[in-house]
């Protein structure tokens, strides 16, 4: 094992934590304009990002004077935790709690600018005590909260924050006992990644506590299993084994955080499409489809002109779309060779993945190209809802034209 393995692993863990915090920051920022809780949560994330940016600067530059960034961010952590807890529980902390946190932030914020280690280790252990005190107070406020004044979702959020604190306290405390515990790296980055993953899980209402814990167990089990195999093959000692485990856990958590953020964004887009469908105003079908152009599923949609479908037999198209109003290129109905030729021509000519039937008189077809990474069961349901609504609007337009003689 190379001599710089510990330093490189610390740099990797700090970068992983910074990525996780950045993904969560990107995910949370759109709701900050209307949610005080989101704004306070963004403050928590920015304090964490400042902490791990400082750690990376210390490693990359070797400049000890960058430690003030790390120490300042560490001093702000209890304040950020208290602000988030107050907002989440919708109550103010007792005055003595605010005094404890306020005085601690002021004292350790000033001490952060003392360059050098003349005050250490006393400064570091006092800072650890201040942080643990802040976490314990937050946990106490959560445990003895007024559950009746909070909704089911808010109580679920409180439970998960408490679980995240229980995991974060020992991992954060281990940073201050590296020498005593003979640890090669700082493990607080793992705790921060766990916190990010728990936070992203809050928006998935269908995920209960048991499912969250089971998923976490699977992630950690996979990381430990892979680490064990690498350690056995490479015949690492204790130090090397700890580094491998830390790297694998951090990597899997970053991947899980990124996947959860993508799933949450997809769910939000699905909800926005359904909201648009529910609130769509009366109008023509073209205006309706243009209103959907900002959604990823429909931004490449186009309505085929009558000239583009002129060479196709209308009764064959009617038979195809009667069977499948939303036609998929990879799931074509078996309706005979003539219908197969028609479907192949449409999909190949317009390079689309889906065809939506809107009307028969005149024939209106929408060609949609859905990227592979957006395809899912929910996407198919959304396309079916779009087709049904567009077909109703087209039928209403046709009935109106027939009644008015236009």
Residues 75, 112 contacting (CB under 8 angstroms): yes
Q: What is the pLDDT along the chain (406 residues), one digit of tens a residue?
A: 677 888 899 899 999 999 999 998 988 887 777 778 788 889 989 999 999 999 899 888 877 778 888 899 999 999 998 998 888 888 888 999 999 999 999 999 998 888 777 777 788 889 888 988 998 898 888 888 887 777 776 777 777 777 777 777 777 777 777 656 777 888 888 888 988 888 887 655 455 557 777 888 888 899 899 999 999 898 888 888 989 999 999 999 999 898 888 877 766 666 666 666 666 665 666 777 777 766 766 766 777 877 777 778 888 888 888 888 888 888 888 888 888 888 888 888 877 888 888 877 777 888 888 776 567 777 777 778 878 877 777 777 666 655 665 5
Give the position of tokens 């510990």.
6
Residues 342, 312 contacting (CB under 8 angstroms): yes
Torsion of the alpha carbons at 372, 373, 377 and 382, rounded to the nearest 10 = -90
In whole angstroms, how far apart are CA 189 and each of 101, 174, 198, 246?
23, 11, 14, 9
- Whole-model pTM: value is 0.70
Torsion of the alpha carbons at 102, 105, 109 and 112, rounded to the nearest 10 = 150
Query: Which two tokens mark 289?
Result: 């489809």
In three-state secondary structure terms, 113 is: coil
Spatial CB neighbours of 332, under 8 Å, sequence gap ≥ 6: 324, 340, 343
E strand segments, 74-122: none
- Angle of CA points 391, 396, 398, to nearest 5°: 95
């Amino acid at each position: 094992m190379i001599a710089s393995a510990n330093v490189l692993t610390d740099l990797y863990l700090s970068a992983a934590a910074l990525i996780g915090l950045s993904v969560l920051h990107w995910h949370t920022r759109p709701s900050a304009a209307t949610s005080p809780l989101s704004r306070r949560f963004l403050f928590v994330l920015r304090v964490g990002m400042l902490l791990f940016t400082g750690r990376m600067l210390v490693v990359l530059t070797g400049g000890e004077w960058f430690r003030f960034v790390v120490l300042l961010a560490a001093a702000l952590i209890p304040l950020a935790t208290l602000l988030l807890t107050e907002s989440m529980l919708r109550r103010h902390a007792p005055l003595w709690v605010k005094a404890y946190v306020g005085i601690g932030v002021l004292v350790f914020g000033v001490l952060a600018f003392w360059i050098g280690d003349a005050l250490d280790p006393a400064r570091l252990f006092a800072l650890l005590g201040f942080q643990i005190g802040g976490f314990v107070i937050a946990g106490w406020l959560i445990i003895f909260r007024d559950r009746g004044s909070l909704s089911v979702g808010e109580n679920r959020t409180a439970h998960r924050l408490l679980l995240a604190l229980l995991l974060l306290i020992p991992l954060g405390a281990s940073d201050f006992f590296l020498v005593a515990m003979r640890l090669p790296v700082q493990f607080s980055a793992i705790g921060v990644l766990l916190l990010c993953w728990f936070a992203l899980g809050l928006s998935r209402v269908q995920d209960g506590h048991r499912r969250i814990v089971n998923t976490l167990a699977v992630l950690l089990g996979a990381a430990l299993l892979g680490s064990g195999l690498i350690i056995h093959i490479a015949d690492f000692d204790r130090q090397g084994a700890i580094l491998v485990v830390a790297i694998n856990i951090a990597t899997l958590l970053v991947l899980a955080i990124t996947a959860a953020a993508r799933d949450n964004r997809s769910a939000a887009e699905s909800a926005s499409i359904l909201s648009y469908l529910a609130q769509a105003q009366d109008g023509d079908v073209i205006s309706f489809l243009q209103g959907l152009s900002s959604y990823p599923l429909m931004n490449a949609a186009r309505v085929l002109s009558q000239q583009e479908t002129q060479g196709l037999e209308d009764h064959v198209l009617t038979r195809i779309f009667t069977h499948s109003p939303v036609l998929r290129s990879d799931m074509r109905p078996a309706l005979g060779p003539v219908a197969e030729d028609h479907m192949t021509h449409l999909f190949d000519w317009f390079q689309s993945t889906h065809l939506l039937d809107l009307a028969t008189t005149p024939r209106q077809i929408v060609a949609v190209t859905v990227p592979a990474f957006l395809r899912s069961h929910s996407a198919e349901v959304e396309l079916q809802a779009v087709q049904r609504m567009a077909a109703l609007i087209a039928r209403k337009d046709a009935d109106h034209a027939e009644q008015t003689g236009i």
